[in-house]
Every structure is written in structure tokens, then in C-alpha cells.
């Protein structure tokens, strides 16, 4: 499974703080997701980042 971050991102950084192995902040201050399958040991933290996104900008890709 992969994740994506859409244009609704408000740049709060919560996802990158929750699961930095998958989410990162780009040069424009918006979140992006790594273009790779989420490792099994990171599934829970990646799902937590998605669930807690205040802008609901994270989706499964």
C-alpha cells in the first residue's frame, strides 16, 4: 500500500511527525508521501497519520 497527499494539505506537519519514514515536508512547506509501499512495521503509524490529518489530505494510493 502507498499513500498520497492532496492539495488540501495545510502544511501542519503532523503526518511527518507521526510517520517520518513515509511523510515529509517539501520545500513549499506542504506534506508529501514517499513513492514506495509502506513497510508492514509502519502500517499503524502511517494509518494514524492519515486518520489524524486535520485537512483530510492523506489518502491510500
CATH number for the domain spanning 10: value is 3.30.70.20
Confidence band (pLDDT; 50, 70, 90) for 13? very high
Number of domains present in the structure of the chain: 1
Provide the whole-model pTM: 0.95
| pLDDT (0 to 100) of residue 40 | 98
Across the chain, mean pLDDT equals 98
Confidence band (pLDDT; 50, 70, 90) for 4? very high
| Cβ proximity of 34 and 22 under 8 Å | yes
| Cβ proximity of 13 and 51 under 8 Å | no
The DSSP bridge partners found for residue 60 are: 3
Confidence band (pLDDT; 50, 70, 90) for 18? very high
> What are the distances in angstroms from CA 23 to CA 12, 41, 45, 47?
12, 15, 11, 11
Instruction: Give the domain extent around 56.
Output: 3-60
Amino acid at each position: 500500500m502507498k499513500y498520497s497527499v492532496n492539495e488540501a494539505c495545510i502544511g501542519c506537519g503532523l503526518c511527518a511527525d507521526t510517520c517520518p519514514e513515509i511523510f515529509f515536508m517539501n520545500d513549499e512547506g506542504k506534506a508529501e508521501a514517499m513513492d514506495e509501499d509502506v513497510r508492514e512495521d509502519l502500517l499503524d503509524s502511517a494509518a494514524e497519520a492519515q486518520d489524524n490529518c486535520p485537512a483530510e489530505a492523506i489518502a491510500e494510493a
